[in-house]
Amino acid sequence: MLRTIALTFLNEFRLLVQDRVGLFMLLLAPLVIIAVAGFSLGNLYGARMTAHTYTLPLVDDDHGAVARAIAAALADESAVTVVRVANLDRARVIVSDRDRAPLAIVIPAGTTADLAAGRDAHILLYVDPIKRLEISAIEFRIADLCRRVTAGAQAEVRARLADGSADLRARLSRISADLEALHSGIADYQRQLTNARSSAEGQLQTQIRRQMRSTIDALRAQTQAAVQRSVEQARATITSQLAARRDAISAVTIYLVALQASERDFDRWFTALKAAAGSHAGAIPPPPAFPPPPTPAALAELAKPIDLAFTAPPIPIPAASNAVPAGAITIKLPPPPPALPVPQLRADLEALAPPALPVIPGTLGWTERPVSGANANVNSFDQYVPGFGITFLLIGMLLGISLGLIDERDWGTLARLRVSGAPLSGTLIGKLLARFVVGLLQMVVLFAIGYALFGVSLGRSPAMLLMPAAAISFAAAAFGLIIACVARTHDSVMPFGTVVAMTMSAIGGCWWPLDFEPWWMRDFAQFLPTTWTMLAFNNLMIRDLPPISALWPSLATITLGIVFLAVGLFGASRLYD
Amino acid sequence: MPPLSAPALDCFSPSPPRSGKLVSVPTGVALLEATGLRKSYGSHLVLDGVSLAVSAGEIVGLLGPNGAGKTTTLSLLATLIEPDSGTVRIAGAIPSRRHRALRRRLGFVPQAIALYPSLSGFRNLELFARLHGISRLKARSESMRVLEEVGLAERAHDPVAVLSGGMQRRLNLACGLVHRPDLLLLDEPTVGVDPQSREQILQTVRRAAEAGAAVVFSTHYMEEVERICGRALLIDRGKAVAAGTIAELIALGGGLPLMELTFQDPAPPAWCDGLAGITQVAAPRNHGKIALQLESFALVSSILERARAAGAHVLEFHVHSPNLSDAFIALTGHALRDPIASSH
């Protein structure tokens, strides 16, 4: 068992070594594909672009500062050449005709005015949807440019605002100072007024008090005099009345004294009597009679109330009590208010009236539009259905034709055909024609399926797709003949044909848009039928251009096909005839 | 008997046809005439001065071992390749690639199965018939005719790939006959086929000749040449070594019985010295093989006795009447089926 394994293992290596073409292709095939893919997609990963410049047609309908700024900024871009054109139609022609013109810039009328008025404005980018990578690169620059323009305009306004703000701040500072001074003056004045009031109040109180005192003193003196006079009068009255009363009272008093003496005599008598009467005191006679009481008149006199009612003489009120004598009270007026900065403040305040504020500029942006009027959002299948259709058409053609020819040679049918008198060229062309029809049908079916499943665009005239399809079928068939001349064995045809087909497809823009590739590769791609065919398909399907747009690319493909056919027939006649 | 020297070849002229008719070539006139064909690939001389003439209705064998130059000769005759020197004339005209009408008179059956494997035999035949300028209807009828002729009518619509090797050989032959060629070039048409198919192929070839076709039959089977060819050209290492009728060629080999012995070990030197009536016609070759020409079949026992006496162990031996193979051995010193030396 182990021996079998070992021997088989070694034998396989012997066979591999014998198959030098296959062995070579084991390395060459991946290297070729790696190189093609690496160079093609290098730009996606940031590889440096070559020194070629983009051509950007510029339509200036604005004629304003924005347009000038954009043009000036683009002029500074080393990778961009700006071509001023009169109108969009001319710009469309440039974008459509030149590989290195991925988009046209249109600055609409009123862009500057819109921005100045604070409205957002958009410059229009009429893009060729196929040149996506270049568009992105340019749009990146234009986005930066828009930001710079917007930022410049806004910076200018900010500067003006800053100036206005500084002026306002100065005015406000002055007003603040004015107000401060006003406030200070008012405070001083208030203090002065307070002081004045306090002083006035003091003076007033002093003067009033003094005046009141003098008035009161005068009134008191007058009152006292009047009272004194009234008292004197009353005293006189009372004295007179009291004299009468004193007389009455003296009579009473005398009586009372007499009474009192009689009472005392009576008491003594009575006492003596009683003492004398001993047991007969009862039998003592009545006490002696008392003097008679004062007469009723005298008593009435006594009972008579003193007439206190007297008419008080009017108390004379000094005239001075009715009015403050002039000049009696003097109040010192406060000082006049200080000269407040009111006029300046008024002027400043008037100056503070809201100035005409500068308008903040709007934002400058960009809007992408397809140059041909097609949808700018490309359906990826519009690229991949024709792209990979061509790839597999090529593989089928290159392998089919070359292997078929080698088979015929190996089988001997080719010799038999030749002996039959059939010209080799006729035989070969017949073979190519059959493959051409198959390839054409293959493309038709692929497009039909692509349309049904993936919604690929068939352009304005689906029938026109037949032209590039036929052209690439023809060119591929012719190139298959060349492959059959170069690779003369099955072992070499498979890897060689596959690598050639894949390389032609990759470089020709079948796998990714051509603008992914560096310029040198694009220049080389001009010699490949895949490039022209993809251009035709892209024109019809993605750019939605009129059918005529596929004519020249298809003719270029056919021309290359004719060259391939001539070379292939020449080579085949040398090899097989 | 000393080895035979190569005969003069300028006498290889066409013989009258046995039967059939030709439209454009008068009877007895060579339909195919090749003179002094010389071809080399680089420094390798493949063919050196071969001449050949074939008349209508005649089958001429091209006999030689593998690598002798038969296929190159046929390719030159079929105008598939150009000779370095020499001329090929068909019906008196030198065929060129543009001489389509003339080439259509050729029927070429290459050694390989030159058929489209995925197509049916009928479709293959129809295609080649039409390529030879036959109308569609006639091509179909002719295809069926030739399929009948080679015994494949029942398998007419089977893909070639599913047919047996013998059937494919027959179909390969049929494709060369479908347009009724005036000149039929057969390059080893019986290689690797079963006896039944071989027989059918030989019969078909014979019928074609009988119908008037001039046939060049390349093979390394001498018995096939002996059976169907009126004349033959022996070719070895690119050179024509003999030409003539079968009888003439056999005579060139001495016309005596031949004995081939195979020893286990190389025979001792001079082991047969002294034996009368025998001639060694080929030096001892590998595998201890030698060939002796006998004056009489009666010498066989004496030879075997002598060998045993010399201590040589004979593995096998063959004794046969003189034939083309003997003539070839006599002329070239090696057998028809011996591989060509690497120097060739």
- Does residue A355 sit in helix, strand or coil? coil
Q: Does B22 reside within a domain?
A: no
| Nearest CA-CA distance, residue B95 and chain A, Å | 10
pLDDT at B156: 93
The CATH code of the domain that includes B107 is 3.40.50.300
Same domain, B263 and B218: no
Q: Do B108 and A413 touch (CB under 8 A)?
A: no
Q: Do A419 and B117 touch (CB under 8 A)?
A: no
List the single residue in B with minimal CA-CA distance to A412.
Answer: B114
Same domain, B228 and B135: yes
- Among B75, B128, B187, the strongest candidate for a mutation testing the A interface, having the largest count of A CBs within 10 A, is B128
Q: Does B16 reside within a domain?
A: no
Q: Does B15 reside within a domain?
A: no
Same domain, B244 and B275: no
Q: Does B17 reside within a domain?
A: no
ipTM: 0.77
Q: Is B79 on the interface with A (CB under 8 A)?
A: yes
Q: Do A412 and B101 touch (CB under 8 A)?
A: no
CA geometry: angle at B145 spanning B142 and B151, to 5°? 140
What does the pLDDT average to over A369-378?
72
Q: Does B338 reside within a domain?
A: no
Name residues whose C-beta falls within 8 Å of residue B289's C-beta, 6 or more positions apart in sequence: B260, B261, B262, B263
Same domain, B185 and B171: yes
Q: Which amino acid, B341?
A: A
A415 contacts on B by Cβ (under 8 Å): 75, 78, 80, 108, 110, 114
In percent, the amount of chain A with pLDDT more than 90 equals 12
**Residue B38 in contact with residue B239, Cβ under 8 Å?**
no
What confidence tens digit (pLDDT) does each residue in A27-40 have? 777 787 788 778 77
Alpha-carbon distance of A182 to A90, in angstroms, equals: 71
Q: Of A235-239, A312-316, B236-240, which one has max mean pLDDT?
A: B236-240
Least CB–CB distance from B131: residue in A410, A420, A577: A420
pLDDT at B204: 92
Q: Is B100 on the interface with A (CB under 8 A)?
A: yes
Same domain, B100 and B129: yes
| Nearest CA-CA distance, residue B60 and chain A, Å | 20
Q: Does B187 reside within a domain?
A: yes
From B224, B250, B276, give the residue that closes a domain: B250
Same domain, B170 and B263: no
b/e code A292-303 from CB counts within 10 Å (16+ = b): eebeeebeebee
Alpha-carbon distance of B133 to B100, in angstroms, equals: 10
Backbone dihedral region of A363: left (phi > 0), alpha (psi from -120 to 50 degrees) or beta? Answer: beta
Smallest CA-to-CA distance from A484 within A392, A558, A575, A364 is with A575
Are β-strands B289-294 and B258-263 bridged in parallel, bridged antiparallel, or unpaired?
antiparallel
pLDDT at A123: 86
Q: Is A421 on the interface with B (CB under 8 A)?
A: yes
Least CB–CB distance from A416: residue in B98, B102, B128: B128
Q: Based on the structure, what is the number of domains in chain B?
A: 2
Q: Does B39 reside within a domain?
A: yes
Same domain, B72 and B184: yes
What confidence tens digit (pLDDT) does each residue in A409-455 have? 888 888 888 888 777 888 888 888 888 999 999 999 999 999 999 88
What does the pLDDT average to over A365-378?
75
pLDDT at A563: 94
Same domain, B202 and B273: no
Quick one: how far is CA B148 from the chain centroid? 25
Q: Which amino acid, B249?
A: L
Q: Does B20 reside within a domain?
A: no
What does the pLDDT average to over A372-381?
73
- Cα dist. B38→A247, A355, B35, B46, B340 in Å? 216, 112, 9, 8, 19
Q: Do A420 and B104 touch (CB under 8 A)?
A: yes
Quick one: how far is CA A329 from the chain centroid? 73
Least CB–CB distance from B175: residue in A410, A416, A423: A416
pLDDT at A207: 79
What are the backbone angles phi and psi of residue B118, rounded to the nearest 5°? -90, -10
**Residue B80 in contact with residue B252, Cβ under 8 Å?**
no
Choice between A29 and A71, residue whose per-residue pLDDT is larger: A71
What confidence tens digit (pLDDT) does each residue in A463-493 have? 999 999 999 999 999 998 888 888 877 877 8
Name residues whose C-beta falls within 8 Å of residue A62's C-beta, 6 or more positions apart in sequence: A107, A108, A109, A110, A111, A112
Q: Do B128 and A420 touch (CB under 8 A)?
A: yes
From B215, B250, B285, give the residue that closes a domain: B250
Measured from the Cβ of residue A37, the count of other Cβ atoms closer than 10 Å reads: 15
pLDDT at A341: 67
In the 8-state DSSP scheme, what is residue A542? Answer: I
Are β-strands B289-294 and A364-370 bridged in parallel, bridged antiparallel, or unpaired?
unpaired
pLDDT at B23: 34
Same domain, B168 and B235: yes
Instruction: Work out whether the CA dihedral A152, A156, A157, A163 comes out positive or negative.
Output: positive
A410 contacts on B by Cβ (under 8 Å): 112
Smallest CA-to-CA distance from B107 within B77, B138, B145, B86 is with B77
Q: Do B80 and A419 touch (CB under 8 A)?
A: yes
The CATH code of the domain that includes B275 is 3.30.70.1560
Same domain, B89 and B206: yes
In percent, the amount of chain A with pLDDT more than 70 equals 85
pLDDT at A556: 94
Q: What is the mean pLDDT of each run of 10 residues along chain B (344 residues)?
A: 36 38 47 92 89 92 88 89 90 77 85 90 92 90 93 93 92 92 92 88 92 91 89 89 88 80 80 82 66 84 87 86 80 66 37
Alpha-carbon distance of B279 to B267, in angstroms, equals: 15
What confidence tens digit (pLDDT) does each residue in A86-131 have? 888 888 888 877 777 888 888 888 888 888 888 888 888 888 877 7
* SS3 of A69-109: HHHHHHHCCCCEEEEEECCHHHHHHHHHHCCCCCEEEEECC
What confidence tens digit (pLDDT) does each residue in A242-270 have? 777 777 777 777 777 777 777 777 778 77
pLDDT band, residue A558 (cuts 50/70/90): very high
Alpha-carbon distance of B342 to A56, in angstroms, equals: 72
**Residue A477 in contact with residue A404, Cβ under 8 Å?**
no
Which pair of tokens denotes residue A162? 């800053």
Same domain, B222 and B263: no
Q: Which single residue is written with the structure tokens 């031996």?
A: B317
pLDDT at A333: 66
Terminal-residue alpha carbon distance, chain B: 28
pLDDT at A315: 57
What does the pLDDT average to over A380-405?
88
List the single residue in A with minimal CA-CA distance to B187.
Answer: A412
Alpha-carbon distance of A235 to B237, in angstroms, equals: 203
Which pair of tokens denotes residue B4? 């035979």
| Nearest CA-CA distance, residue B108 and chain A, Å | 7
A412 contacts on B by Cβ (under 8 Å): 110-114
Same domain, B211 and B312: no
Name the residue range of residue B180's domain. Answer: 30-250
From B196, B230, B250, give the residue that closes a domain: B250
What is chain B's percent helix, strand, coil content, to nearest 5? 30, 25, 40
